Amino acid sequence: MKIRRDILWIAAALLFSCSCRLSFAQAASAGDIENHWAKTDIETVVSLGIAGGYPDGFFKPEQMVTRAEFVKMLVKACWVGPVKENEQPAFVDVGREYWAYSCVEAADAIGILAEKNSGRLFEPERIITRAEVAGMAGRLMAGENLPDFPAAKDDRQNNWVATMKKEGIICGYPDRSLGEESGLTRAEACVIVLRIKNKLLTEQIDRERRWIASYQSNDGYMPLDDGRPDIIPYFGNLTEMAQLGQPVFNNGVKKYLEWSLSNLNYPDLFGLNGTMYDYRLEDGVLQSVYSYDSADSYAATLLSLAAGYYRATGDITFVRAHYGDLAAVSEVILKLQDDDGLIWAKPDQQVKYLMDNCECYRGLKDWSLLLEEMGFAERSRLYDSKAGLIKDGILNRFWDQDRACFAWALDQAGGKFLPQSGQAYPGFFAQIYPATYGVISPASEKAVLAYQKLNEELPGWADLELGDSFPWVILGYAAVIMDDLSNADRFLENCRSTYILTGRDYPWSTFEAAFYIRACDALQKKITATFD
């Protein structure tokens, strides 16, 4: 059995490496970028699928970039979508057979290009100048309506080189010149497109946070959208976690926590203190439905939210003021903990779910850290040990050696529910939870095997081919954690074009938007880690 397991691990590792990191390895060829000043930027660009190496295995960082090459990088980096093909190409020297035709057409369609000559020549093979790079980047960013950014796309109204310097997109040379008419190397292009992408990701995140905030009620609770009457605390908890990245939204999170903690059950219908029911809006009035989908995950995610609020604000006074309620919430998980360390979903449902147990692990770890901050060292160690029992149970009970994946649930007799082909939810989606919630390292054997299992079943997930009616945006967040940046980036681009830019209609929701924010934020951190 060990030999078979090792073979599966090696095979999965090779497949994962090939599908997610092959281009990264090509870019990092010995002697090409190893000691190059832009090494990390180049590696990130290649990992994102924005650019790649040459057939000879080298990246050629000092080679000059053509106009077509830069346009392709800009279009891919900034999620410029394809356009409907015109009867005639936009430029007479970029025909349909040209390798960058679709990118040039897409860039022209949204006004990135400024060629006004009567023959509509693009000169795709000419070396691009830094002034032209500034113009293309400026027009693209202006089109995104970035705050404090010139709104007009008319080049006569904007000094794009100066604007790009001010925005930190293009930097000058040691002699303080900007080299407007100088060319651009492939390495310099990588740095510039990452800086642009960073700006656009910031705006994506801020816009979704503002959209989420617009739905929060005056009382503090969080709907899924304006068309669904159900108020589900579990989704609200996860949604508010994404709001913690900006101080301006911290008061909204605090208000949500106050509403949640004021509506805890003492006790519920099963005699548990600290649980929370789902609610429903009836003629504008919030009514409890006196039931919950699960007790364990509702409690765990609320604890994680409270801990996140403290980390974001340092407001220990709030935590201390609500210590009794938070302690009752934490006790819900302990009361549902079985002898094997795993957590039952709720008193009347004797099932242990992988997703729930990963959330419970994270919730108890977060609560343990809060207890330590409040000076309750002994109780902190107790909850940390309880989280450790959950982790042991996940690794020992949920993991299936023969299938090399996690079971998505265990029944009362210990029987495993394993993923079944053709049913993405819950079996295959559950595979990402142990790594996403920090139960295991993303680089661990089990994490790689589980992620590979998801990709084998849903090879087109990054193109929203999910086998489910919901977008499951947590997949994008998980992909970033797994360092699968190319798929993560494509998935987020498709979420933006399919849901956000078309009005955020159902099945988009504040919950899905929250994981979109967290995925964009995680991706942004990967990008900015390369900045000096």
Residue 310 sits in the same domain as residue 241: yes
Global pTM value:
0.93
d(C-alpha 20, C-alpha 48), whole Å = 9
d(C-alpha 244, C-alpha 251), whole Å = 9
Tally of CB atoms within 10 A around 510: 26
Residue 233 sits in the same domain as residue 298: yes
Q: Which of 200, 231, 260 is the last residue of a domain?
A: 200
* pLDDT tens for the 532 residues of the chain, in order: 444 445 445 444 444 444 444 344 444 443 589 999 999 999 999 999 999 988 888 999 999 999 999 999 999 999 999 888 888 899 999 999 999 999 999 999 999 998 665 568 999 999 999 999 999 999 999 999 888 787 766 666 678 998 999 999 998 777 767 778 999 999 999 999 999 999 999 999 999 999 999 999 999 999 999 889 999 999 999 999 999 978 999 999 999 999 999 999 999 999 999 999 999 999 989 999 999 999 999 999 999 999 999 999 999 999 999 999 999 999 999 999 999 999 999 999 999 999 999 999 999 999 999 999 999 999 999 999 999 999 999 999 999 999 999 999 999 999 999 999 999 999 999 999 999 999 999 999 999 999 999 999 999 999 999 999 999 999 999 999 999 999 999 999 999 999 999 999 999 999 999 999 999 999 999 999 988 6
Q: What is the DSSP string of 489-522?
A: HHHHHHHIIIIITTT--TT--HHHHHHHHHHHHH
Residue 426's pLDDT is 97
Fill in the DSSP letter of residue 247.
G
Domain assignment of residue 73, yes or no: yes
Domain assignment of residue 472, yes or no: no
Fill in the DSSP letter of residue 432.
G
Residue 246 sits in the same domain as residue 192: no
Domain residues for the domain of 306 are 220-458
Domain assignment of residue 9, yes or no: no
Residue 361 sits in the same domain as residue 434: yes
Domain assignment of residue 524, yes or no: no
CATH number of the domain bearing residue 339? 1.50.10.10
Residue 117's pLDDT is 57
Domain assignment of residue 482, yes or no: no
Residue 170 sits in the same domain as residue 231: no
Domain assignment of residue 163, yes or no: yes
Residue 328 sits in the same domain as residue 432: yes
Residue 395 sits in the same domain as residue 313: yes
Residue 194 sits in the same domain as residue 242: no
d(C-alpha 502, C-alpha 527), whole Å = 27
d(C-alpha 48, C-alpha 342), whole Å = 37
Residue 9's pLDDT is 52
Residue 176's pLDDT is 67
Q: How far is CA 473 from the centre of its chain?
A: 7
Domain count, the chain: 2
Residue 225 sits in the same domain as residue 188: no
Residue 192 sits in the same domain as residue 274: no
Domain assignment of residue 488, yes or no: no
| SS3 call for 314 | coil
Tell me phi and psi for residue 442, to 5 degrees. Answer: -60, -25
d(C-alpha 155, C-alpha 132), whole Å = 11
Residue 99 sits in the same domain as residue 192: yes
Q: Which of 458, 479, 499 is the last residue of a domain?
A: 458
Residue 486's pLDDT is 97
Q: Which of 430, 458, 486 is the last residue of a domain?
A: 458
Q: How far is CA 38 from the centre of its chain?
A: 25
Q: CA-CA distances (angstroms) from residue 122 to 101, 102, 118, 165, 379? A: 11, 13, 11, 25, 68
Residue 406's beta-bridge partner residues? 399
Residue 432's pLDDT is 98
With tokens 């949920």, the residue in question is: 398
Residue 177 sits in the same domain as residue 229: no
Domain assignment of residue 352, yes or no: yes
